[in-house]
Amino acid sequence: MCDFPNVLSISGKVISNKFYRIPRPYQYGLHRVSLRRCQIIQASARGESAARIARCLGCAKQTVVSAIHDFDARGLAALTRLSSRPHTTRAAFDAVGRERLREMLHQSPRLFGKPSGLWTLELAAEVAFETGLTAVRVSAETIRATLGQMGVRWQRAKQWITSPDPQYARKKGARDRLIRWAARRPEWALGFLDEVWWSRLARPCLHCWAEAGRPLRLVEQAVAKDAPDPTALACYGLYLRAGAADEANRMWLRFVDGQPVSGITTQFLAWCCAKLAAEGKRALLLIWDNASWHVSKEVRAWIREHNRRGKRTGEGVRIVACYLPTKSPWLNAIEPKWVHGKRAVVEPDRLLTAAELIDRICAYYDCPCEPHLSLIQNVA
């Protein structure tokens, strides 16, 4: 039976006519790979064959031969355990794919339906596959290598989710403060407002179950030039987060004839305040982004006048607006709701009419179909 000590003693060795002495730091606290290599070199110096060393250590003969040759070429450096990362990774991303990967990492993982708000290499590989950036699931090291080809270190890429807004910390603190206030005051409503376009043609990235050999395919659709229905529908949404224990999170939607503008924004705010007042709410803590139809003079003036009127009469719902930092969609809780809704209402093999699309959207969010918002045009 072969006997290899767990703790190596200091001994000299002659390898390829070179004399080596293993220093004491290499003998204690070694990684098992380094310890095994020391045992191999020590046994080889005693004149034992590679086959006997492999049999005693329980490894392959080629492992012993490779360790001896490596020690002969690099000396004591061969006793240090090297990285287990692959030396080469296959090119899973072309030039366009690398840029799309960069854009993906600039967004929050929550926008892709993930519970975490922080990117990891494994999570980036998973989302890249789910969104169609890669045909197959790649390894975490492939993501790291792809970023390296763009001159970006992963430690830097993990911080991309921060906003370029220089006042990010102050604005995020104001948002968090409103959320804490709403939790303590049941007569206040906490709402996240945003707008979205519902396309009848766009196909979201999603996965689904299908029969073996019969994968579900999303058929690309087209709209005739003389079709009466629009290609896409604009929609305002307010996500009300529950404040009391007996309340539930809700979504309020209003579709728009045209596109979001300041005049329609004030109509939507007035409609929301009227509904909240009917429920006995006293204030709407409103969290939204810096879209031009949110920060315009018209909208700001309307909110000031609305609050002054409520203060004079003692009725109505006061609006406390909180503007999010620039390019920070992960701070708006309604953003993931849009992503999941688009996946839920998609029709794979036919084109939905505008009415069918609206019905599916309202059914998914469990809200009634309200009349469309529109601007009244003055005809001379």
- Give the strand pairing for 250-256 and 232-241: antiparallel
Q: What is the pLDDT of residue 35?
A: 79
Domain finish residue from 79, 106, 138: 79
Residue with tokens 């494994």: 122
Q: What is the pLDDT of residue 218?
A: 67
Give the tens place of pLDDT for each residue, 204-213: 766 667 777 7
Domain identity same for 189 and 152: no
230 occurs within a structural domain? yes
36 occurs within a structural domain? yes
372 occurs within a structural domain? no
Domain identity same for 115 and 58: no
CATH of the domain at 271: 3.30.420.10
Question: How confident is residue 300, by pLDDT bands cut at 50, 70 and 90?
Answer: very high
The pTM of this model reads 0.60
Domain identity same for 237 and 324: yes
Domain identity same for 131 and 175: no
Domain identity same for 196 and 181: yes
- Give phi and psi for 19, each to the nearest 5: -95, 125
Q: What is the pLDDT of residue 27?
A: 46
Domain of 235, in residue numbers: 168-365
Domain identity same for 33 and 99: no
Query: Does 189 have pLDDT greater than 80?
Result: yes
374 occurs within a structural domain? no
> Residue 194: exposed, middle, or buried by beta-carbon count in 10 A (0-12, 13-18, 19+)?
buried
Q: Check: CB of residue 312 under 8 Å from CB of residue 276.
A: no
53 occurs within a structural domain? yes
User: Distance between CA 144 and CA 149 in Å, rounded?
Assistant: 9
84 occurs within a structural domain? no
Please give the tally of structural domains in the chain.
3
Domain identity same for 267 and 293: yes
Domain finish residue from 29, 47, 79: 79
Domain identity same for 139 and 274: no
Domain finish residue from 161, 177, 200: 161
Domain identity same for 354 and 208: yes
Domain identity same for 115 and 41: no
Give 289-323 as a 3 state SS string: CCCHHHHCHHHHHHHHHHHHHHHHHCCCCEEEEEE
Domain identity same for 215 and 320: yes
Question: How confident is residue 10, by pLDDT bands cut at 50, 70 and 90?
Answer: very low
Give the tens place of pLDDT for each residue, 230-249: 889 999 999 999 866 567 89
Domain identity same for 250 and 355: yes
377 occurs within a structural domain? no
90 occurs within a structural domain? no
